Chains A and B, each alone.
Chain A
Amino acid sequence: MTDAVAHPPPSEPRAGLSTRARVLIGLFGAAVILTLLRPFLPDALIRVPEWAIPPLEPALDAIFAWFQNDLGLIHVTRAISGWLGVAIDAAANLLYGKSRWPRLDALPWSAVAGVAAVLGWWLGGWKLSLLAGGTFVWTALMGQWKWTMETMSVIVIAAPVSFVIGLILGISAWKWKRFERAIRPILAILQTLPFYTYLLPAVIFFKVGPTAASVATIVYAMPPMILMTAVGLKKVPPEVVEAGKMAGCTRWQMLTRVFIPSARSEILVGLNQVIMLSLAMVVLTAFIGMPGLGAKLLAMMNSFKLGRSFEIGITIVLLAITLDRLSKAWVVKQPEHFEKGTPWWQRHFFLVLGIATFVFFLLVAQVVPYLDEIGRRQAFSMGKEIDTAMKTALAWDWVQATTNGIRYFFNLFILIPTENALLYVPTFAVIAAVAGICYALGGAQPAIIGAVFFTTVAFFGWWDRAMLTLHSTVTAVLLAVLIGMPIAIWASRSARASRGAIFVCDTAQTFPSFIYLLPAIMLFGISPITVILSILIYTMVPVIRYTIEGLRGVPVELTEAADMAGATRWQKLKNVQLPLAMPTIAVGLNQALMFAFFMVIIAAFIGTRDIGQELQRTLAGTHLGKNFVLGFSVVFMALTFDIAINAWAERRRRALGLA
């Protein structure tokens, strides 16, 4: 971890010991000395002793109980969940015929698929039309229609609600500086909070079932929407604003006619994020009553049906890609303008076509039951065949021999020793080292924040587990850099390879992580390497994506200049491209760490001894206080790195004259 120190900013003088060097030597020296002295230290200096840990958990429990019962917050939240419930039930009625208001029948699958195809055509031409229609046809043919619609019934409510609230909060953040300052840290916390910590309060305050699931989804998906809205509104050029003012707009008109349309692209990117994050929660919210694909996936996994859980995974990926492409196409699509006098149906051609398709399939489905509903027995699921194929492939001798080798090497020589080493180091030595790393990266402010945050974690009382979590995340990120960077450097050399790599990244990212877990266990057993590998996929995605983006963003003049100066390919990469791409790569690294902190919690499903395991235990119901303490242990560790890496990227950008 200390290799991060190896980048002194170019501006520092080399002669003598600068303040910077003295601080670094002080911090790392303290860490080393404390560690060396460990055998002679009293226990109280090795770990925060039991008696010094404040009784936060019971205190929080009491506070929550007070909010819930004495203040009557639960009545407010339950009323909200009542309204949400009505909306979700109505969607559920239309999509899969749940017997609730408005008590209509489920829409035939063919009608939904038809409308999706028309929508795709309108937004992005025939390719998108094929993707959108095809996704729903696949779902129906695989016999997953009802589950998909159960999932969609929650998402079609949760995503718009998240969008609207996010938009309003984003506008407020842009209007009122003080509000923005207040909301920033909350957003940062929301983005790093382990999902188990979203789930429990959602259940208690919003009633187990689709409503709790939708609340957890809404909250989880909102932060990027708020940020993007604020960013977009800030970027509106003054000329546009002045034009609006000259036209005599009222304040409301300024907002709805001038600012929001000008910030349209950013707002729609926010919407895209809302949709993607909502889909990412499909499986996780199944723990608290989200019906549909996620719940089925968990049930399939618990009866060891690899094949059918794999098929569900494909459906989730297809849905994610479809919604992603549709919403991105909408971002790009400019409003169409027609000549005066164009007939109504021509101006609304796609609307008319959509309605016509819908009505057509609605009617035909009454006659052809197959287009209305495909039963499980008529479906084309290949679950059993995929099952057999996967199990055979996983059991091939050379596969087992390779994985056993990897398992043996990594566990015995790398992971278990480093894990034990990290657990051996006294708490305050770790804190000093973390402060040192933060100082090296970002300077004094991040270092102080890091020290305070890690000290807080120490006093939360889950230090050893926190260290194991930290160990998994950092290892996964380092491995991601080792593997992902070369791939990205190779891919960045051609536009086609870049597109291919990014497509693979997108797919890997939306494929529900739970599906990887079982094959990973079958290959590597229940051991530390399995945990790392299950996180690795998610940490590699941002590393690859941002490295490609950074390298391809290097101005052509500069690489050409390097070529003319006779630089070899390696010299060009090392001295020109990588340094210039570094700020962007740093953003990727930061993302990778955040993903790792998020995913490591899921690895509790495999079997870990870290915070995730303890969090999973709190799901049993009532330890809201403990749940929050554990959740915030993760938040504080994640934020420390987030702040330090961002500060470093900012400094690099300034040094390069990019800011």
Chain B
Amino acid sequence: MKALKTLIAASMLAAPAAAFAEDSSDPIIIPIHNWSSQIVMSNVVGQMFEEMGNSVEYITTDSQAVYESVRLGDVTLELEVWEGAFGQSFRTALEKGGLHDAGDHDAVTREDWWYPMWTKDACPGLPDWKALNECASLFKTAESGDKGMYLDGPVDWLKHGKERVEALDMDFIVVNAGSAAALWAHIGQAEADKKPIVVFNWTPNFAEAVWPGEFVEFPEWEAGCDTDPSKGPNPNALYDCGNPATGYLKKAAWDGMKDKWPTAYCVLSNISFTNPQIAEMAKLVDTDELEPEEAAAEWLEANRDVVEPWMNSCKS
């Protein structure tokens, strides 16, 4: 049954495949992590490679540990390198050698303090951070005493929530969640009786579709805010600004990919998704409950005009 299907599919693909060629027949290993947009994007790119006649395999890995694997060539590439969350691991691996920067996506990423819309009803001055600080007592929990509680991302994301609270002299205590899932559970709990909360969040992300919300506007990011105390409103402290509102979203590739799969590598360097495209990919899985493979196929079908130029420009 399936063999037959594969055969038909293969014969249909044989014609365009001839145009590419030269790529090694070994499978290109694409890592997938545990959030939807990355899984779908990996499948989209994987299906593009397959269309070009490459063989592709997906491996589930930890999103921090993956850079070590790319470096060793165990994994061929990584499609979502977030500046905020993975910049550190990426740079460490970059210094050790074995992988390189394969260009940015068009999409920008933002990671910062965030609240779901219902919070604004209780604290109308938002999104300004000073207004948030005046409402601090709304965000009290059993353990936080008189101060408000801000739920920061996991420590290993290095978000410097505590430093910012001190630098800006805010009436908040900072608690670190252990995982993204813990952040969602916290929002999910507050949702029921519309309790005001402020948590760490980022975009593009499925949560935007589930819980509409906004980022808190802190003093705007200035270059050097994390290294030079004189930058930002507090002349004596680091981290007294918001995070950059336009962080990068990169692709990374194993150094050997260029020689082993030149055509696929060429396509990889062309690839550049936008924020709405990424949100759409996540939505197909998170809201429409498709399987990632199906979601990728559907997305590709609907966006031929986007991906075809990337592939065509690499035909030799």
Q: Which residues of A contact B (CB under 8 A)?
A: 97, 99, 105-106, 200, 203-204, 207-209, 286-291, 295, 298-299, 301-304, 366, 369, 372-373, 376, 383-384, 391, 394-395, 400, 404, 407-408, 411-412, 416, 517-519, 521-523, 525-528, 603-609, 613, 616-617, 619-622
Q: Give me 15 A-to-B residue pairs in the complex whose CB atoms sit less than 8 angstroms apart, sorted by A's number.
A: A106-B2, A200-B65, A208-B69, A291-B59, A407-B142, A518-B184, A521-B186, A523-B189, A525-B189, A605-B182, A607-B175, A620-B64, A620-B88, A620-B156, A621-B68
User: Once the chains are docked, how many angstroms separate the CA of A622 from the CA of B246?
Assistant: 29
* A608 touching B178, Cβ below 8 Å: yes
Set of chain A residues within 8 Å of B154, measured between Cβ atoms: 607, 616
Known contacts A304-B188, A366-B1, A395-B192, A621 near B65 by CB under 8 Å: yes
* B65 touching A203, Cβ below 8 Å: yes
B67 at interface, CB cutoff 8 A: yes
B179 at interface, CB cutoff 8 A: yes
* A105 touching B142, Cβ below 8 Å: no
* A302 touching B60, Cβ below 8 Å: no
* A605 touching B178, Cβ below 8 Å: yes
Binary interface profile of B, 36-53, with partner A (CB < 8 Å = 1, else 0)?
A: 100100000000000000
Known contacts A290-B60, A299-B39, A376 near B185 by CB under 8 Å: no
B176 at interface, CB cutoff 8 A: yes
Set of chain B residues within 8 Å of A301, measured between Cβ atoms: 34, 181
* A408 touching B2, Cβ below 8 Å: no
* B2 touching A303, Cβ below 8 Å: no
Set of chain A residues within 8 Å of B64, measured between Cβ atoms: 619-621
* B74 touching A209, Cβ below 8 Å: yes
Set of chain B residues within 8 Å of A408, measured between Cβ atoms: 142
Set of chain A residues within 8 Å of B189, measured between Cβ atoms: 394-395, 521-523, 525
Rounded to whole Å, the gap between the CB of B183 and the closest CB of chain A is 9
User: Once the chains are docked, how many angstroms separate the CA of A607 from the CA of B210?
Assistant: 23
Chain B, residue nearest A409 (CB): B142
User: Once the chains are docked, how many angstroms separate the CA of A613 from the CA of B152?
Assistant: 14
* A97 touching B2, Cβ below 8 Å: yes
Interface size on B, residues (CB 8 A): 59
* A518 touching B178, Cβ below 8 Å: no
Known contacts A517-B181, A603-B178, A105 near B89 by CB under 8 Å: no
Set of chain A residues within 8 Å of B175, measured between Cβ atoms: 526, 607
Please report which residues of chain B, range 157-177, place their CB below 8 angstroms from some CB of chain A when the two chains form the complex: 175-177
B106 at interface, CB cutoff 8 A: no
Please report which residues of chain B, range 206-227, place their CB below 8 angstroms from some CB of chain A when the two chains form the complex: 206-207, 210
- Among B39, B55, B72, B182, the residue within 8 A (CB) of A607 is B182
User: Once the chains are docked, how many angstroms separate the CA of A372 from the CA of B2?
Assistant: 10
B93 at interface, CB cutoff 8 A: yes
User: Once the chains are docked, how many angstroms separate the CA of A656 from the CA of B182?
Assistant: 49
* B156 touching A209, Cβ below 8 Å: no
User: Once the chains are docked, how many angstroms separate the CA of A526 from the CA of B186?
Assistant: 8
* A208 touching B75, Cβ below 8 Å: yes
- Among B29, B96, B151, B294, the residue within 8 A (CB) of A376 is B294
User: Once the chains are docked, how many angstroms separate the CA of A177 from the CA of B276?
Assistant: 67
Binary interface profile of B, 129-168, with partner A (CB < 8 Å = 1, else 0)?
A: 0000000000001110000000100111000000000000
Known contacts A97-B2, A303-B286, A395 near B193 by CB under 8 Å: yes
* B210 touching A304, Cβ below 8 Å: yes
- Among A391, A523, A525, A619, the residue within 8 A (CB) of B141 is A525
Tell me whether chain A's interface is mostly helix, strand or loop, or mixed.
helix
Rounded to whole Å, the gap between the CB of B266 and the closest CB of chain A is 25
* A288 touching B65, Cβ below 8 Å: yes
Set of chain B residues within 8 Å of A105, measured between Cβ atoms: 1-3
User: Once the chains are docked, how many angstroms separate the CA of A525 from the CA of B75?
Assistant: 37
Rounded to whole Å, the gap between the CB of B132 and the closest CB of chain A is 20
Apart from A203-B69, A519-B185, A619-B64, list 8 A-B contacts with CB within 8 A. Answer: A298-B34, A304-B181, A407-B142, A526-B182, A604-B178, A619-B65, A620-B64, A620-B88
Rounded to whole Å, the gap between the CB of A223 and the closest CB of chain B is 25
Rounded to whole Å, the gap between the CB of A266 and the closest CB of chain B is 36
Rounded to whole Å, the gap between the CB of A208 and the closest CB of chain B is 4
B228 at interface, CB cutoff 8 A: no
* A416 touching B143, Cβ below 8 Å: yes
- Best-buried of B67, B92, B143 by chain A (most CB within 10 Å): B143
- Among B65, B155, B207, the residue within 8 A (CB) of A208 is B65
Known contacts A99-B55, A295-B34, A301-B181, A404 near B142 by CB under 8 Å: yes
User: Once the chains are docked, how many angstroms separate the CA of A517 from the CA of B285?
Assistant: 23
* A607 touching B176, Cβ below 8 Å: yes
User: Once the chains are docked, how many angstroms separate the CA of A369 from the CA of B5?
Assistant: 13
Rounded to whole Å, the gap between the CB of A372 and the closest CB of chain B is 6
Rounded to whole Å, the gap between the CB of B268 and the closest CB of chain A is 20
Rounded to whole Å, the gap between the CB of B41 and the closest CB of chain A is 14
Rounded to whole Å, the gap between the CB of B138 and the closest CB of chain A is 16
* A303 touching B65, Cβ below 8 Å: no
Set of chain B residues within 8 Å of A606, measured between Cβ atoms: 177-179, 182
* A302 touching B35, Cβ below 8 Å: yes
User: Once the chains are docked, how many angstroms separate the CA of A351 from the CA of B175?
Assistant: 59
Binary interface profile of B, 74-110, with partner A (CB < 8 Å = 1, else 0)?
A: 1100000000000011001100100000000000000
Set of chain B residues within 8 Å of A288, measured between Cβ atoms: 61-62, 65
Set of chain B residues within 8 Å of A106, measured between Cβ atoms: 2
Set of chain B residues within 8 Å of A204, measured between Cβ atoms: 68
- Among A289, A299, A527, A608, the residue within 8 A (CB) of B35 is A299
Rounded to whole Å, the gap between the CB of A190 and the closest CB of chain B is 22
Known contacts A302-B184, A608-B178, A295 near B60 by CB under 8 Å: yes
* A411 touching B186, Cβ below 8 Å: no
User: Once the chains are docked, how many angstroms separate the CA of A302 from the CA of B184?
Assistant: 8
B128 at interface, CB cutoff 8 A: no
User: Once the chains are docked, how many angstroms separate the CA of A302 from the CA of B177?
Assistant: 13
Known contacts A208-B69, A619-B64, A620-B64, A302 near B34 by CB under 8 Å: yes
Set of chain A residues within 8 Å of B179, measured between Cβ atoms: 302, 605-607
Set of chain B residues within 8 Å of A400, measured between Cβ atoms: 192-193
Set of chain A residues within 8 Å of B182, measured between Cβ atoms: 517-518, 521, 526, 605-607
- Among A286, A369, A518, A526, the residue within 8 A (CB) of B1 is A369
Set of chain B residues within 8 Å of A605, measured between Cβ atoms: 178-179, 181-182
User: Once the chains are docked, how many angstroms separate the CA of A518 from the CA of B185?
Assistant: 6
User: Once the chains are docked, how many angstroms separate the CA of A517 from the CA of B186?
Assistant: 11
Chain A, residue nearest B294 (CB): A376
User: Once the chains are docked, how many angstroms separate the CA of A523 from the CA of B286?
Assistant: 24
Please report which residues of chain B, range 274-316, place their CB below 8 angstroms from some CB of chain A when the two chains form the complex: 285-286, 289-291, 294
Set of chain A residues within 8 Å of B89, measured between Cβ atoms: 620-621
Rounded to whole Å, the gap between the CB of B140 and the closest CB of chain A is 12
Chain B, residue nearest A523 (CB): B189
B180 at interface, CB cutoff 8 A: yes
Set of chain A residues within 8 Å of B181, measured between Cβ atoms: 301-302, 304, 517-518, 605
Binary interface profile of B, 216-245, with partner A (CB < 8 Å = 1, else 0)?
A: 000000000000000000000000000000
* A522 touching B188, Cβ below 8 Å: yes
* B60 touching A411, Cβ below 8 Å: no
* A299 touching B59, Cβ below 8 Å: no
Set of chain B residues within 8 Å of A617, measured between Cβ atoms: 155-156
* B34 touching A394, Cβ below 8 Å: no
Set of chain A residues within 8 Å of B188, measured between Cβ atoms: 304, 391, 518, 522
Chain A, residue nearest B178 (CB): A607
User: Once the chains are docked, how many angstroms separate the CA of A412 from the CA of B289?
Assistant: 41
Known contacts A301-B181, A376-B291, A411 near B65 by CB under 8 Å: no
Set of chain B residues within 8 Å of A383, measured between Cβ atoms: 289
Rounded to whole Å, the gap between the CB of A626 and the closest CB of chain B is 13
Set of chain A residues within 8 Å of B68, measured between Cβ atoms: 203-204, 621-622
Rounded to whole Å, the gap between the CB of A69 and the closest CB of chain B is 12
User: Once the chains are docked, how many angstroms separate the CA of A376 from the CA of B142?
Assistant: 43
User: Once the chains are docked, how many angstroms separate the CA of A134 from the CA of B283?
Assistant: 34
Known contacts A522-B188, A621-B92, A372 near B178 by CB under 8 Å: no
